[in-house]
Amino acid sequence: MKRGGLIAVVLATAAFAVLVPVQWRIDSARQGGFDEELLYLPQKDLLKHFTAGLSGVVADVLWLKCIQYTTMHFKGDSKFTWLYQMCDMITTLDPHFTDAYRYGGIFLAAIKADDDSSLKLLRKGAAQNPDRWELPYEMAVVYLLNRRDEPGSAETAAMYLKSAVETGTAPRNIAEFAANLQSRHNLNDMEEAMWKEMRNSKDKMMRDLAERKLSDIALRSACAALTKAAELYKTKAGTAPAQLSDLVSAGIITGIPADPRGGSFILEPDGRVQSTTLLDALKERRLNQLRASLKLYHEQKGSWPPTLDDLKQSGVSGFVPSPPYAGQSWKYDPSTGIIE
């Protein structure tokens, strides 16, 4: 190496030997100053005008700061004083930054427990991006989780889920979740209207799903009508009908409706009428749920649980669902983990 080069290396080494510790000092002096740094950010409406066309990049940089800020306070004092302001500023700079609304809303609701700010941010996002299903979906989640004790929260959540499904881009499970929530809260009319609209979706899968769900609704309505007819029979005859054909013989109904999906209607011992099509579908869902829990147990413990109740006791599953058909029980083999 030439003499000049050697001098340059020595000088650089000496300089960095001073610069690095000085930087440590500056960093430690600045610790805790992150929040103050946010205080001095210009007003969001002004900032948008002074980014020289780089508002997207400034929004990205602020988003990275927002993640840092959230992580820092999550591990620290759990006070997220500036979280909403940051998300608001990011989304003012880039109004189509959907994930900033979404994750910002999740952070605010789930970590800060500030559902008002979360909903405010998500509503702003939904107004700017009406085609995105994620924003009404997250609003529904806030109503279901943070505001579950509030009267009417489930209905509001169902309404937001309906909006999410109406965008036509929501995944299938969200559409099913919306339908389940509605039926659980006796929102059949709303549910029916939602699926009727979905029948016009551009997506074939969504149209098929809508047809299937409308058929479910028709079967549930038929079950409800037949249950009422059985109650009427009991009132008139003084005894419960032995079979559904008794309702026809007694002239209460003109005939037993046909199930277009090949199932039949059965009279349960408690007097309720059920559709085998719906019960079979429910049984399959419960079986899938149990199989997933068994698999998780096996992964954790290395063996299958001796009984299904062990799933609950070990904390793998919150509850063990029973078969939907009255009088039936699961056939479970603890040596293979197979359940039927």
Partner 1 sequence: MRILAVAQNTFREAVRDKVLYVLLFFASVTIFGSKALGWISIGQDIKIVKDLSLASVSVFGVLIAIFVGTSLVYKEIDKRTIYTIICRPMHRYELILGKYLGLAMLLAVVTVTMAAVATGYILLLGGSVNATFYCAVLLIYWQLLLITAFAVLLSSLTSPILGAIIVFMVFVAGHATGIFINLPPQFQGTISEKVLRWVYYILPNLSNFDLSSQAANSIAAPPGFVGWALLYGTVYTALLLALASIAFEDKDV
Q: Among 159, 93, 99, 147, which Cα is nearest to 119's?
A: 147
| 32-39: Cβ within 8 A, 24+ apart | 34/68, 34/69, 34/72, 35/81, 35/82, 38/65, 38/69, 38/82, 38/85, 38/86, 39/82
The DSSP 8-state label assigned to residue 108 in this structure reads I
47 or 250, CB closer to partner 1?
47
Q: CA–CA separation, 199 vs 213, rounded Å? A: 10
Q: CA–CA separation, 65 vs 129, rounded Å? A: 24
Residues of this chain that interact with partner 1 (CB under 8 A) are: 45-46, 48-57, 59-60, 63-64, 67, 94-99, 103, 129
99 or 208, CB closer to partner 1?
99
C-beta of 43: minimal distance to partner 1 in Å? 11
Tokens of 168: 């036509």
Q: How far apart are the two ends of the chain, measured CA to CA in Å?
A: 79
C-beta of 300: minimal distance to partner 1 in Å? 28
94 or 216, CB closer to partner 1?
94
22 or 46, CB closer to partner 1?
46
Backbone angles phi, psi at 265, to 5 degrees: -100, 135
Backbone angles phi, psi at 133, to 5 degrees: -75, -25
C-beta of 50: minimal distance to partner 1 in Å? 6
95 or 136, CB closer to partner 1?
95
Q: Among 313, 323, 249, which Cα is nearest to 279's?
A: 323
C-beta of 74: minimal distance to partner 1 in Å? 14
C-beta of 103: minimal distance to partner 1 in Å? 6
C-beta of 9: minimal distance to partner 1 in Å? 25
11 or 57, CB closer to partner 1?
57
